[in-house]
Structure 1
Amino acid sequence: MVFRWIKNYMPRGIYARAALILILPVIMLQLLVSVVFIQRHFEGVTELMTSAVNIEIRFLVDTANGAPDVEAARAALSRIDAPLEILTELPATDIVAADIVPWVDLTGNSVIAELRAGVANVIQVSLADRRRVVIWIETVHGPLKLDFSRRRVSASNPHQLLVIMVVMGALMTAIAYFFLRNQLRPIKRMAAAAADYGKGRITRFTPTGAVEVRAAGMAFLDMRNRLERQTQSRTLMLSGVSHDLRTPLTRLRLGLSMLDEDEVAPLVRDVEDMERLLDGFLDFARSDASDDLEETVPADLVQAVFEDAKRIGQAVVISDLKGSRDPVQLRPTAIRRALDNLVNNALRYGSRAEIGVSVTDRAIRFWVEDDGPGIPADQREDAISPFVRLDLARNQNRGSGVGLGLSIVADVARTHGGVLRLSESSKLGGLMAEIVLGR
């Protein structure tokens, strides 16, 4: 329970955590020094100094008590108080009601306790003036007031030591943080390069810093290079196979065109299905070989997709264009291909579709929703996987495919560092597909 509470209130950033690691030990060390050294050492010195002054105070009290009357007591005290540097007043009339110790006085209680323990008949002690000590003592001739310098009973004010500790602690913390920041900077650069790669951008990154950080950076570069080679190999394989198969399919179509139409009609449909599958493979391959990032207005992409759909008579409307029209970094061709796939998928299983976009400071959200049968919640994750067709959920009679439509859209979203979300359309009742991209 305690560890969970600490975890909830721990800083999230690496710089803040590094600062906490630096500052916390310094503060704990200063507190330890303050308690052990200042409190005990200064109290011990104060007790010794006050014990020495108690001897002089007892001598003055004994001198006053030994005089026959008040005048003789005053005369006797006046002869010895100046050499002892103690002001005397007999009888005293300005006695305070209780001992006075300022709350910032670290050794005041020790002074009063030692005075009362070493001198009998102490009435009150006042430390209101931090530079003086005033004590009232009962004598046979009335209250005796003694006033002497605070330096005689207390060690030097420990505030100077506290100030030195705080200043030096802050200085050493700043120096340590400066050096630590140089060690953390390569980690932040590697994190930024990894985040850019997750958004489809390959940024220049050179491992620097400590040996362990350099090793992590080299491992990241090796991983990124392997992923790039794997992606290129997959793209080349799919595009090569799909392209090479078009030649024999073209020869088949040409040969079938020379035969009787009634006899070869089923074979022509098979060839068309194969061509449609090849087109799907090529689209899937092109989803990895995306275009370069460009300054693009998201609303213009939605408008272009709507115009294309309207031109061919598709039942598509724009539901909303929310947010700023400032250009953002996108791959326009890939986004348009993804939106086209979502629109075609919506119209394949529904009678109408709506498309829109919302732009905020933190994210860009494209969406397409339809009035079709939708996809059950427990099958939506499978629907995004390549080569998966959910015919039972999406009405097989509306069309056939290779099961790559949503997978292509998901790949386009991932190359932008985003995600494809599938949910139920609250407006049309069918499927709602959202492409959410972080900015």
Structure 2
Amino acid sequence: MSFDWLKHYMPRGLYGRAALILVLPVAMLLAIMSFTFIQRHLEDVTQQMTGTVVREVRMVGDQVVGAETQQELIARVRPFLTSLNMKVRFPSPREVPEADGVRFFDYTGGVARDTLKQSLMAVRAIELLPDKTALIYLDSDLGPIELTISRRRLTPTAPHQLIVTMVFCGILMTAIASLYMRNQLRPITRLARAAKAFGRGQNVTYHPGGATEVREAGNAFIDMRARIERQIEQRTLMLSGVSHDLRTPLTRLKLGLSMLDEQDAEPLLEDVNEMQRLVDSFLDFSRGASEGEVEKLDPQSLITRIVEDAQRAGKPVTLLPPEGEGSAKLRPDSIRRALQNLIDNAVRYGSRAEVSVAFTPKSLRLRVEDDGPGIPPDQRGEALKPFARLDPSRNQNKGTGVGLGLAIVADIARAHGGTLRLGQSERLGGLCADIVIGR
């Protein structure tokens, strides 16, 4: 039997699941104990107490036999009334209620009523008054008889005390366990926040704490973060150094070519410019995805400025109307670099590009579409890897590039806690690149 449907009703957070683990067993234990107590203890005790009253009522009823008047009956039972703590009177027929006066939530009162009616056929009605008094109405040859006794002789006093005590103890134990569990869960949530921040390019202060296993996981995370930071730093230094060292000979080549005949120097100068673009790509990749500080801003305004700058540069780019509105926490410089790379790719492989922004309650989507050849579905994952080269037909007469454009965009999207998705444009038929970032 599958219980997958329960997943939709289970808490998703660690604190919610821990609370469920604590509260559910306690609640089930209290429910079972309460049911057992009510069914077995209260019911048995009430039946025993009511059985004693039944015998006393029968003794009073035996005195009716042979009595010719109501006064004679009262005279006969008077010696027993004091010891039985009972009162007897003959009410008028109009004073006798037609139905029992037992409240529906009075469980012990219902048990006493049922026991009396099953044991005494002459019982006509029973009333349990708020002042802890019980009235029992009997039929007799001399007319209806009203017996007044104390409610405490029929049912236990304050039967709910045990249940209240159990509930109070359960709540107290749950509160104590919750405080202890919270202290154990806090280090896990701190570790999760630190890992999430590091995934977005932020280095927050974190000190391992909690149980031994949590401390080991925290120390492993710190070691992993240090290794990744060293790797990124080494990559940045290597690419920056190589790119910087290449700039000097490229500059000398440009100066040398400027002294040659323009017609002879043109193809060589084009190669030098291509090398310059490759060096710039290396520098962009070496800077990483965490350039600039996180700011809360209006993405639509930022995208508008980026598109206007591209249009001034002569690129066929169009900005579509936004879908929704709102703000998001972004690194403006990184987002600008990512959008510029996507726009450059779009106009490089297609004749025009369209940029759009869409807001949802939980995410922000930045989309760039083109009318170029696109990327086949089986090559989209490979296209996001650094230095990846796709089918040569895609690069025909477009320059080979270095394969870092989409990798840089993917790094920037991950640094914002989002992702880069590649697909086919339904509007233009080419590539559709979406940067999806959580808000």
The equivalent of 1:415 in structure 2 is 415
Does 1:215 find its partner at 2:252? no
Cα displacement (A) at 1:20: 1.9
CA distance in 2, matches of 1:7, 1:361: 23
Tell me the secondary structure at the aligned position of residue 65 of structure 1: coil
Cα displacement (A) at 1:348: 0.7
CA distance in 1, matches of 2:294, 2:105: 65
The equivalent of 1:230 in structure 2 is 231
Alignment: residue pair count: 437
The equivalent of 1:166 in structure 2 is 167
The equivalent of 1:406 in structure 2 is 406
CA distance in 1, matches of 2:400, 2:367: 23
Cα displacement (A) at 1:346: 0.7
| Cα separation, partners in 2 of 1:50 and 1:128, compared to 1, 3 Å | closer
Cα displacement (A) at 1:347: 0.8
Q: Please identify, of 109-118 and 205-214, the stretch whose mean Cα deviation from structure 2 is larger.
A: 109-118
Does 1:182 find its partner at 2:162? no
Is the Cα contact below 8 Å between 2:116 and 2:123 reproduced in 1?
no
Is the Cα contact below 8 Å between 1:284 and 1:408 reproduced in 2?
yes
Cα displacement (A) at 1:79: 4.2
The equivalent of 1:204 in structure 2 is 205
Output the amino acid matched with 1:199: R
Cα displacement (A) at 1:412: 1.4
Q: Which structure 2 segments of 5+ residues have no match?
A: none
CA distance in 1, matches of 2:160, 2:218: 48
Is the Cα contact below 8 Å between 2:423 and 2:433 reproduced in 1?
yes
| Cα separation, partners in 2 of 1:205 and 1:361, compared to 1, 3 Å | farther
Cα displacement (A) at 1:289: 6.3
Is the Cα contact below 8 Å between 2:98 and 2:125 reproduced in 1?
no
Output the amino acid matched with 1:202: N
Cα displacement (A) at 1:15: 2.2
The equivalent of 1:77 in structure 2 is 77
The equivalent of 1:191 in structure 2 is 192
| Cα separation, partners in 2 of 1:76 and 1:402, compared to 1, 3 Å | same
The equivalent of 1:30 in structure 2 is 30
Is the Cα contact below 8 Å between 2:201 and 2:290 reproduced in 1?
no
1:36-435 aligned at under 5 Å gives the runs 36-90=36-90, 93=93, 94-97=95-98, 99-116=100-117, 118-119=119-120, 121-129=121-129, 131-246=132-247, 273-288=274-289, 290-294=291-295, 296-321=297-322, 328-358=328-358, 362-391=362-391, 394=394, 396-435=396-435
Tell me the secondary structure at the aligned position of residue 212 of structure 1: helix
Q: Please identify, of 317-326 and 24-33, the stretch whose mean Cα deviation from structure 2 is larger.
A: 317-326
Is the Cα contact below 8 Å between 2:290 and 2:412 reproduced in 1?
no
TM-score, structure 2 normalization: 0.86
CA distance in 1, matches of 2:347, 2:72: 120
Does 1:13 find its partner at 2:20? no
CA distance in 2, matches of 1:126, 1:34: 27
Tell me the secondary structure at the aligned position of residue 320 of structure 1: coil
| Cα separation, partners in 2 of 1:117 and 1:361, compared to 1, 3 Å | closer
| Cα separation, partners in 2 of 1:438 and 1:69, compared to 1, 3 Å | closer
CA RMSD of aligned residues (A): 3.3
| Cα separation, partners in 2 of 1:255 and 1:395, compared to 1, 3 Å | closer
Tell me the secondary structure at the aligned position of residue 417 of structure 2: coil
Cα displacement (A) at 1:9: 0.6
Cα displacement (A) at 1:236: 2.3
CA distance in 2, matches of 1:281, 1:30: 67
Is the Cα contact below 8 Å between 1:208 and 1:214 reproduced in 2?
yes
Output the amino acid matched with 1:283: D
Q: Please identify, of 294-303 and 382-391, the stretch whose mean Cα deviation from structure 2 is larger.
A: 294-303
Cα displacement (A) at 1:395: 5.1
Is the Cα contact below 8 Å between 1:122 and 1:135 reproduced in 2?
no
Cα displacement (A) at 1:390: 2.9
Tell me the secondary structure at the aligned position of residue 127 of structure 1: strand
After superposition, the C-alpha distances for 1:121-153 in whole angstroms (9 at most, x for unaligned) are: 333341342523333344454443322111112
TM-score, structure 1 normalization: 0.86
Cα displacement (A) at 1:329: 3.8
Is the Cα contact below 8 Å between 2:124 and 2:139 reproduced in 1?
no
Is the Cα contact below 8 Å between 1:323 and 1:360 reproduced in 2?
yes
CA distance in 2, matches of 1:70, 1:323: 90
CA distance in 2, matches of 1:348, 1:191: 41
| Cα separation, partners in 2 of 1:61 and 1:285, compared to 1, 3 Å | same
After superposition, the C-alpha distances for 1:306-354 in whole angstroms (9 at most, x for unaligned) are: 343233322223223565576x543222222211111111111111222
| Cα separation, partners in 2 of 1:102 and 1:297, compared to 1, 3 Å | closer
Is the Cα contact below 8 Å between 2:353 and 2:371 reproduced in 1?
yes
CA distance in 2, matches of 1:323, 1:287: 31
Cα displacement (A) at 1:409: 1.0
CA distance in 1, matches of 2:433, 2:7: 36
After superposition, the C-alpha distances for 1:6-32 in whole angstroms (9 at most, x for unaligned) are: 221111222222222222222222212
